[in-house]
Structure 1
Amino acid sequence: MTFSICVREPYTDEDGNRQLRFGVAVTTRLPGVGTLCPFASENGAVATQSLVNVDLGRKGVEYLNDGLAVEDALEALLNADDGRENRQLHGVDADGTFVFSGAECIDWYGHIEGENYTVAGNLLTGEAVIAETANTYESTAFDEEPLALRLIDALEAGHTEGGDKREDLPVQSAALKVVETEDTAYSKFYNDLRVDATETPIADLLETYETARRGYEMTLEKYADAYESDSIDAAE
């Protein structure tokens, strides 16, 4: 089902420690893609699509959490999957990337593998969809803007190029997840967002992101003392 991007970005936290952030974003001309495709943890990000096997995403992240390299983890799962040639599966971990498109995926389908990212799509209007998704991410990689926002920009670029070709399916969805290795006092809830049923998935995901980030900043301002003291009494 349509197209997605997985990303790894190293960065340095305020204490000068090296950290990693992993992100995955997806959109499709079906509802509820956030329940099926994107998976991420502090050890990597995985997207499963085409004729979806959700276990490939769930188990893929579990294997990464157990210390397997992404190429070993995802290849092992595909080797045990009788529907392998109907699948697209891709992802990143701390050191590597992996991407696979089965021979029985529906045109147009294909993938791109970059140094720190992977992009894959099927049932698309053409190769330009994933090319522009990749190019847009590359142009903003390691930018100061939050990764979640840059992933939305990458999806928008692919969507503008034509995206999913099934115009007879107007109800669409989009989702993103970003996870960082850095321990923070506050959960950045704008890093885990879904738009489950809409005819304007990317615009709605952007609006959801902007609203969630504004709410996050307002929450920090109101409850900073409570978080700092780890006491509900300070929230009054």
Structure 2
Amino acid sequence: MTFSICVREEYEDESGDDQTRFGVAVTTRLPAVGTLCPFASENGAVATQSLVNIELGRKGVEYLDDGLGVEDALQSLLNADDGAAQRQLHGVDAEGTFAFSGDESKDWYGHLEGEGFTVAGNLLTGESVVEETADAYRDSRGGDAPLAERLVDALAAGHAEGGDKREELRVQSAALIVETTEDREMEPYYHDLRVDATETPVADLRETYELAKEGFEAAVERYEEAFEDDELDDVDE
């Protein structure tokens, strides 16, 4: 299942407190990748792909939430998985990174690890897909754009480089998740988005993000008092 990116970033919130955010984004030439591949919490992000074992993602994040380091967490899951040779599994936590590509994955396949991020892919047109995805993310660091937006940009760079090589498969999908240690009064619901079936997954994910962000901000503005008073039962849907 094509290519994905997991990232960790440190930042200061509006009160000047140190926080950490995690993000994962993925696209593929199959439907509904958001139900299979990306997993994240306030303690890390994990992507499971190639011949997918969803439990690697679910349990991987659970292990991170329990305080296990990402390398120990994901390697222990692979050690117990009889199909590990057909898997790709990668992720980040507060301190490290981990990436694995089983030698029975389909060409081109591979991964790379950078400072606070990992990228992996299979059935790609070539290694340059993951390299361009990584470069686009690196170049975006330190900018003003939200992480979700920059994750879409990273996917777009890999997609433009060739992406998934299975051109005969028309139905595609994409997804992103962003989580943070910051305790916010209301979590932006545009940080967990999926495009389940389309021929233009990255463009549609970008449009979905922009519309969801616009809709969230409009709702907050309209129902500001209800949000502040936590009187959401009184809000007309």
Does TM-score exceed 0.5, indicating one fold?
A: yes
State the match for 1:49 in structure 2. Answer: 49
- Structure 2 unaligned residues grouped into runs of 5+: none
State the match for 2:131 in structure 1. Answer: 131
Residue type at the aligned position of 1:159: H
Cα displacement (A) at 1:229: 1.3
State the match for 2:34 in structure 1. Answer: 34
State the match for 1:117 in structure 2. Answer: 117
Contact 1:69–1:96 (CA under 8 A) maintained in structure 2: yes
Residue type at the aligned position of 1:46: V
State the match for 1:62 in structure 2. Answer: 62
Contact 1:4–1:121 (CA under 8 A) maintained in structure 2: yes
Q: Render the CA deviation track for 1:57-101: whole Å, top value 9, x for unaligned.
A: 000000000000000000000000000110000000000000000
Residues 229 and 157 from structure 1, CA distance in 2 versus in 1: closer, same or farther, beyond 3 angstroms?
same
The number of residues matched between the two structures is: 236
- Write the distance in 2 (CA, Å) between the matches of 1:84 and 1:232: 46
Cα displacement (A) at 1:142: 3.2
Matched, 1:102 2:89: no
Root-mean-square deviation over aligned CA pairs: 1.0
Contact 1:44–1:91 (CA under 8 A) maintained in structure 2: yes
Matched, 1:217 2:184: no
- Write the distance in 2 (CA, Å) between the matches of 1:59 and 1:143: 33
State the match for 1:185 in structure 2. Answer: 185
- Write the distance in 1 (CA, Å) between the matches of 2:135 and 2:24: 16
Cα displacement (A) at 1:232: 3.7
State the match for 2:25 in structure 1. Answer: 25
- Write the distance in 2 (CA, Å) between the matches of 1:27 and 1:228: 37
Cα displacement (A) at 1:234: 6.6
- Structure 1 unaligned residues grouped into runs of 5+: none
Residues 205 and 232 from structure 1, CA distance in 2 versus in 1: closer, same or farther, beyond 3 angstroms?
closer
Identity, in percent, stands at: 69
- Write the distance in 1 (CA, Å) between the matches of 2:234 and 2:163: 48
Residue type at the aligned position of 1:113: E
Contact 1:9–1:142 (CA under 8 A) maintained in structure 2: no
* TM superposition score normalised by structure 1: 0.98
Secondary structure of the residue aligned to 2:118 is strand
- Write the distance in 2 (CA, Å) between the matches of 1:234 and 1:142: 40
Q: Render the CA deviation track for 1:179-227: whole Å, top value 9, x for unaligned.
A: 0110111121110000000000001000100100000110110111111
